[in-house]
């Protein structure tokens, strides 16, 4: 007989604000992570603090923000008005407290929920806020949300403004570290969207005069742009548009009230629609939408009254209205693009002719591919029905809340044993496995036709749902999981080449990673350490003392599912694949995948020493 579970007053427990945030951090900052992904929680913490400083700039005070990150300690100092001194503690420790509830002061702000800095406070080992205002200063210190010290100075010579210092809690964000590239991208987006603002990060200044035009120029090689960037501005809206010479799919950077909406939303959908409608009317031809948008590189920023987002991390806009007396988001964007883009094309005939040629070329290529695409889609459907290549995760097979999207991961692996180990040890809710058969084709220099004709590429494209761009990307993280030997490295390179050649925005937007797996297992009867380098191995030997058993993992297939669960769970280590800003994609592909050049031979010889050092240490 089963024991009856009691349900009385004793079972009811009320969590205070900090306990709730610490127990359910994902509700407030999305996924946790270790800093290897741009949407990991540690960057959301930085963003939440910065948003307050940006709002001060928008209100006309504080043209400079200073940001410092050293040894995981983050300091953000603005020169705005400063928090009212009597409310310094409340603003960072009481829910539903904040200046943004006064809509007269912050009509078009992002952080209307009054949660941001409270979440940072609750999720930090150490948190300090200092406000300088009217010649006085107030400060408060916290540990994991608990007030430990506060001060009020009647006189101070410090410049007005707010300074926040915090160290994220390493029991929640395990083995984390900040990657400067992600922080810089975050800060650059702020200056693109706020002309006149200067952000100083670790001594380096960031400033933008031309807004979204600068964003496209900084993110793309000049030689790859088909025509000069079309930069259009209006009340509460700004757009920048060009097309790529080499890129196949669409690329969008979208923002609402300064928030980077990485998953798009109603404004991005309206923008895509408006571009097609305007161009059809300008040329008086019913071009296919995919031909108009093929290879487009663009950005849009709008400001909305009290926006509604689909998640706490504000990565997708759900609002359909601009607010106040204004029309819907769709109508507002459509009217703006129709007027401004049409005028631009009438005035710039060379750009208009270049764009028309691009669209006609895309139309020709699409028609040539139409038969192959249909056959390829049929093959992909049959393959998925028989589950030959893809072992999907439940988020796509069942009605699981979309908040889990940031954790969705596709592991691309090679060989039955490796894919079998990952499949058995994965989180079936959010982790999927795509199994390669042998080495992929070297796609360098090949046309999009090969993606449909090659079974591996066709099924991978279908599994990711990226044929028409990243709007429908099914997995936020795409992880290449291969052996750390020469063959494994070669497979990695071939897969990276595939993405660079046909879907570079997957890499540009930070979705592609390499799975790090341990090289060694060091253990005795009591403890086991998995080591990712020779140094970690030596440290483990020192900890265990004596003569521990040391195993060198030769391949993923040798790691049992019971062990693999450690490497793809909470302690997963990922290396993001990032583009070299100094080289165009074409130059990069030519260097790594073209004919053997003296430059590449020199590069290989210089980097061979690392592999030789590893071999020596093993001997």
Instruction: Give me the pLDDT at residue 387, please.
Output: 58
Identify the pLDDT of residue 601. Answer: 63
Distance CA 37, CA 477 (A): 9
Which residues, at least 6 apart from 295, have a Cβ–Cβ distance to it below 8 Å?
226, 243, 244, 245, 246, 247, 248, 249, 250, 358, 362
Residue 618: pLDDT band (50, 70, 90) is: very low
Q: What are the φ/ψ torsions at residue 521 (nearest 5 degrees)?
A: -120, 125
CB 230 within 8 A of CB 340: no
Q: How many CA atoms lie within 13 A of 4 on its CB side?
A: 3
Q: What is the reported pLDDT for 547?
A: 87
- Domain 17-207 CATH class label: alpha beta
Asked if the model's pLDDT at residue 141 lies above 90, the reply is yes
CATH number of 368-618: 3.40.50.670
- Distances 16 to 23, 27, 94, 145, 166 between C-alpha atoms, Å: 11, 15, 10, 10, 21
* pLDDT for 277 beyond 90: yes
pLDDT tens track for 361-392:
999 999 988 888 888 877 777 666 555 688 88
The CA–CA distances, whole Å, from 579 to 359, 374, 407, 497 equal 27, 33, 23, 12
**pLDDT at res. 98:** 52
Alpha carbon of residue 512 to chain centroid: 10
Is the per-residue pLDDT at 175 higher than 90?
no
Among residues 259, 334, 341, the alpha carbon closest in space to that of 296 is found at 341
Q: Given pLDDT bands bounded at 50, 70 and 90, which one contains residue 263?
A: confident
The three-state secondary structure class of 473 is coil
Question: Which of 398, 390, 475, 395 minimizes the C-alpha distance to 436?
Answer: 390
| Amino acid 103: pLDDT | 43
Q: Give residue 361's pLDDT.
A: 95
Which of 426, 453, 430 has the alpha carbon at shortest distance from 441? 453
> Measured between alpha carbons, how far is 63 from 412 in angstroms, rounded to an integer?
46
Round to whole Å and give the CA distance between 39 and 510. 9
pLDDT band at 310 (very low <50, low <70, confident <90, very high): confident
pLDDT at res. 397: 56
Q: How far apart are CA 386 and CA 5, in angstroms?
A: 44
Q: Helix 598-618 to helix 585-593 angle, to the nearest 10 degrees? A: 60
Per residue in 421-476, pLDDT (tens digit) is 899 999 999 999 999 888 899 998 888 889 988 988 999 998 999 887 787 889 99
Give me the percent of the chain exceeding a pLDDT of 70: 86
Tokens of 92: 């960072």
Q: Where in the chain is the domain with CATH 3.30.230.10?
A: 212-366
Contact 264, 252 (CB under 8 A): yes
Given a contact cutoff of 8 angstroms between Cβ atoms, the answer to whether 380 and 454 are in contact is: no
For the ranges 22-31, 173-182, 318-327, 602-611, the maximum mean pLDDT occurs at: 173-182
Q: How far apart, in whole angstroms, are the C-alpha atoms of residue 89 and residue 130? A: 10
Q: How high is the pLDDT of residue 246? A: 82
Question: What pLDDT digit, counting tens, does each position of 177-199 carry?
Answer: 999 999 999 999 999 999 999 99
Structure tokens at 413: 């692996």
Which residue bears the tokens 């989180």?
427
Q: In Å, how far from its chain's centre is CA 583?
A: 21
Cα separation, 481 vs 460, in Å, equals: 14
Rounded Cα distance between 339 and 344, Å, is: 9
Residues 324-348 pLDDT 10s: 666 788 999 999 999 999 999 999 9
Of 29, 94, 603, 19, the residue nearest 312 (C-alpha):
29
- Nearest CA to 224 out of 517, 583, 484, 580 is that of 583
Reply yes or no on whether the pLDDT at 112 is more than 50: no
166: confidence class by pLDDT, cuts 50, 70, 90: very high
What confidence category does residue 82 fall into, taking pLDDT thresholds of 50, 70 and 90? Answer: very high
pLDDT band for position 59 (cuts 50, 70, 90): confident
Return mean pLDDT, the chain: 85
Q: Is the pLDDT of residue 521 over 80?
A: yes
Q: Please give the Cα distance from 270 to 275 (Å, whole number).
A: 9
Task: For residue 492, report the phi and psi dihedrals to the nearest 5 degrees.
Answer: -55, -50
Residue 359 makes CB contacts below 8 A (sequence gap 6+) with 279, 283, 287, 291, 292, 294
Count how many residues are written for the chain: 619
The contacts of residue 408 (CB under 8 Å, 6+ apart) are: 393, 395, 430, 431, 432, 474, 475, 476, 477
pLDDT of residue 368: 87
Residues 6+ away with beta carbon under 8 Å from 185: 38
Residue 595, token pair as written in the block: 């004919």
Single pTM value for the model: 0.84
Where along the chain do the CATH 3.40.50.670 domains lie?
368-618
| pLDDT for res 610 | 42
pLDDT band at 403 (very low <50, low <70, confident <90, very high): low
**Residue 553 pLDDT:** 87
Does the pLDDT value for residue 113 go beyond 50?
Answer: no
Which letter does DSSP use for residue 484 in this model? Answer: S
Q: What is the pLDDT of residue 2?
A: 47
215-244: average pLDDT: 93
Fold of 212-366: Ribosomal Protein S5; domain 2 (3.30.230)
């Amino acid at each position: 007989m089963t024991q009856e579970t009691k349900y009385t007053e004793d079972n009811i427990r009320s969590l205070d604000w900090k306990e709730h945030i610490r127990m359910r951090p994902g509700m407030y900052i999305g996924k946790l992570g270790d800093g290897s992904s741009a949407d990991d929680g540690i960057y959301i913490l930085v963003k939440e603090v910065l948003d307050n400083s940006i709002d001060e700039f928008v209100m006309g005070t504080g043209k400079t923000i200073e940001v410092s990150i050293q040894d995981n300690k983050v300091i953000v100092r603005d020169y705005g008005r400063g928090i009212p001194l009597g409310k310094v503690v409340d603003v960072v420790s009481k829910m539903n407290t904040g200046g943004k509830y006064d809509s007269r002061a912050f009509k078009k702000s992002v952080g209307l929920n009054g949660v941001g800095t409270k979440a940072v406070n609750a999720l930090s080992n150490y948190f300090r806020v200092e406000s300088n205002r009217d010649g006085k200063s107030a400060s408060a210190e916290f540990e994991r949300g608990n007030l430990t010290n506060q001060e009020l100075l009647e006189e101070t010579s410090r410049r007005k403004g707010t300074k926040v210092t915090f160290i994220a809690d390493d029991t929640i964000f395990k083995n984390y570290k900040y990657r400067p590239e992600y922080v810089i991208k975050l800060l650059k987006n702020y200056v693109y969207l706020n002309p006149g603002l200067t952000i100083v990060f670790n001594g380096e200044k960031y400033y933008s005069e031309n807004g979204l035009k600068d964003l496209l120029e900084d993110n793309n090689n000049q030689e790859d742009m088909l025509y000069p960037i079309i930069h259009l501005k209006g009340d509460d809206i700004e757009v920048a548009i060009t097309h790529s010479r080499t890129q196949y799919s669409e690329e969008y950077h979208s923002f609402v009230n300064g928030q980077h909406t990485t998953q798009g939303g109603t404004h991005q959908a309206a923008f895509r629609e408006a571009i097609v409608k305007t161009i059809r009317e300008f040329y008086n031809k019913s071009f296919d939408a995919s031909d108009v948008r093929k290879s487009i590189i663009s950005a849009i920023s709008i400001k909305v009254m009290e926006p509604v987002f689909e998640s706490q991390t504000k990565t997708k806009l759900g609002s359909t209205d601009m607010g106040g007396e204004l029309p819907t988001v769709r109508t507002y964007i459509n009217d703006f693009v129709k007027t401004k883009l049409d005028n631009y094309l009438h005035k710039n005939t060379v750009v208009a002719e270049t764009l028309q040629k691009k669209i006609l070329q895309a139309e020709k290529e699409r028609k040539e591919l139409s038969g192959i695409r249909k056959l390829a889609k049929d093959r992909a459907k049959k393959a998925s029905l028989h589950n030959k290549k893809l072992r999907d995760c439940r988020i796509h097979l069942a009605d699981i809340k979309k908040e889990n999207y940031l954790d969705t991961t596709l592991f691309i692996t090679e060989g039955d044993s490796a894919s079998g180990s990952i499949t058995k040890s994965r989180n079936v809710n959010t982790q999927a496995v795509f199994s390669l058969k042998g080495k992929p084709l070297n796609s360098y220099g090949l046309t999009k036709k090969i993606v449909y004709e090659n079974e591996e590429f066709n099924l991978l494209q279908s599994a990711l749902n990226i044929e028409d761009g990243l709007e429908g990307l099914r997995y936020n993280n795409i992880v290449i999981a291969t052996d750390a030997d020469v063959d494994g490295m070669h497979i990695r390179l071939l897969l990276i080449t595939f993405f660079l050649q046909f879907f570079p925005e997957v890499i540009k937007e930070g979705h592609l990673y390499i799975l790090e797996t341990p090289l060694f297992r060091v253990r005795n009867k009591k403890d086991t350490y998995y080591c990712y380098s020779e140094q970690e191995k030596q440290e483990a030997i020192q900890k265990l003392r004596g003569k521990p058993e040391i195993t060198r993992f030769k391949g993923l297939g040798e790691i049992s599912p019971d062990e693999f669960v450690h490497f793809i769970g909470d302690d997963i280590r990922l290396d993001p694949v990032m583009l070299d800003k100094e080289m165009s994609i074409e130059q990069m592909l030519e260097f790594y995948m073209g004919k053997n050049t003296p430059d590449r031979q020199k590069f290989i010889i210089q980097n061979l020493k690392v592999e030789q050092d590893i071999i020596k240490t093993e001997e």
